[in-house]
Amino acid sequence: MTHKLLIANRGEIALRIQRACRKLGIPHVQACSQADQEARYVREADQSICIGPARARDSYLNIPALVYAARATGADMIHPGYGFLSENADFAAAIEAEGLIFVGPPASAILAMGNKVRARQAMIAAGVPCIPGSPGPLPPDAGEIRRIAQGIGYPVIVKASGGGGGRGMRVVATEVELDDAVALTREEARTAFGNPELYMERYLTTPRHVELQVLCDGQGNGVHLGDRDCSMQRRHQKVIEEAPAPGVPRALIERVAARCLDACKAMGYRGAGTFEFLYENDELFFIEMNTRLQVEHPVTEMVTGVDIVEAQLRIAMGEPLGLTQADVGFSGHAIECRINAEDPATMLPSPGRVSEWQPPAGEGLRVDTHLHEGYEVPPHYDSLVAKLIAHGPDRATAIARMEAALAATRVAGIATNIPLQARLMRDAAFRAGGAGINYLETKMKAEAGA
Ligand code: MV4
């Protein structure tokens, strides 16, 4: 059976997917908006097709245009990358309905994990540890909600079932704030997600963000590829990710990952997936599942040697996972710095023409980017322009290699967060390992105020 892949994404991840296609001998079609027609990943693609105007909702989020593009070019598979339509169950269902292959899980699994109450219930059923919370959706009655909160213990956090990624949630410190917080969050949820359903958890005040990568073939085989620490974040945007999570016991990872694979089996999961956890007091607590490839997948590839995008494509083509857990080894430490085109002071996007671009190179270094000299960073999309990934036999070596890489990177014409990343590599708390999710924002506020 011969296949052809439509790449329904842009930027560095489009190039990453093209690389996997070339490795597997799968011809590809690059979808692009009018703003991206001159980009390298469009010019260098086997084939390309314009799917609409610059605005994402008219192009990379345009389901009929993408399905039509696949049909028109004879592509039978669609890779959504990350962001855009990657976790849109309607997109996966539309592709399935056309008899095409969505490179990702079944629409049913995307839908189930997109509903955070259902996701939580599925994890509890599979024995994945969850944060103490409401057994299901919050009832309408304020008195009953008060009793649930009392049972959990304050502080609690009220979350929208249709939310995720930090959207639609509110921390409640004491009972006097509860009624208003529930009412406000419910209205936001109704408006933003079209679903007023809420749930409640105990609020963890100083956790780390640790996630587990899995691969499943939908034929009963699944492996985990270990953990990543993504605590170094600001406004729900990850800044640095690393594998493995410093100081988290291997035995705990193995135990929880086995339960995650049970959950995958129970829901008929297929493809790559990420289980997000909060880590506090030596315990992991599930928060959400991401049913897609993640930006930070390279750190896992560096420590396991597993090509996750290749695995996604093989699974999508119906190949059984040629990998058992015993085949998955973990070697050394990897760190990723996200390079964003942004103003260092305001952190706002800094689009423009790249007048100089010299990527770093060196032992253990990987650079995933679509940048080149003369490239025009468009203002319409996410500001991620490059990912520097440094691997080494240990964390100290990975940090040293990243420091050298950041110092060697030459970029002009756009502002980037490279100076911030260089400072973070020298930051005592980062170097110690194990900083929590509040660390970076607190540090930056302190520096801004000082
Ligand atoms: C939490 C939490 C503390 N306690 N849940 C934010 C994004 C979404 N994935 C879940 N989030 C959180 N849920 C409980 N019970 C703190 C956060 C949180 C967070 C989590 C991971 C990474 C960054 C974060 C930043 C702020 C809040």
Per residue in 361-391, pLDDT (tens digit) is 999 999 999 999 999 999 999 999 999 999 9
What tokens appear for 391 in the block?
Answer: 């691997």
The contacts found for 15-22 with CB under 8 angstroms, 24 or more apart, are 15/40, 15/41, 15/368, 15/369, 15/370, 16/309, 16/368, 17/79, 17/81, 17/309, 18/44, 18/45, 18/46, 19/309, 20/307, 20/309, 20/310, 20/312, 20/313, 21/46, 21/313
Burial class (CB in 10 A: 0-12, 13-18, 19+), 121: middle
Domain covering 5-103 assigned CATH 3.40.50.20 in the classification:
yes
Cβ(204) – ligand 1 distance below 6 Å: yes
Domain 208-449 has CATH 3.30.470.20: yes
Domain boundaries, the chain: 5-103, 132-202, 208-449
Longest Cα separation, the chain: 63
Q: Is 131 in the pocket of ligand 1 (CB under 6 A)?
A: yes
Q: Is the predicted pLDDT of residue 345 greater than 90, yes or no? A: no
Closest residue by CA, ligand 1 atom 9: 165
List of E strands, 326-383: 333-340, 352-353, 356-358, 365-369, 376-377
Verify whether residue 292 is a known catalytic residue. Answer: yes
Annotated active-site residue in 16, 292, 314, 401: 292
Is there an atom of ligand 1 within 6 Å of 203 CB? yes
Query: What's residue 7's pLDDT?
Result: 99
Terminal Cα distance for the chain, rounded: 63
Q: How far apart are CA 239 and CA 216, in angstroms?
A: 28
Total length of the chain = 450
Q: Structurally, what CATH architecture does the domain formed by 132-202 represent?
A: 2-Layer Sandwich (3.30)
**pTM exceeds 0.85 for this model:** yes
- Residue 177 carries which side chain, given as an amino acid letter? E
Residue 1 scores a pLDDT above 90: no
Question: What confidence tens digit (pLDDT) does each residue in 210-238 have?
Answer: 999 999 999 999 999 999 999 999 999 99
Q: Where are the alpha helices (DSSP H) in 5-161?
A: 11-24, 40-43, 63-73, 89-97, 107-114, 116-126, 142-152
3-state secondary structure of 243: strand
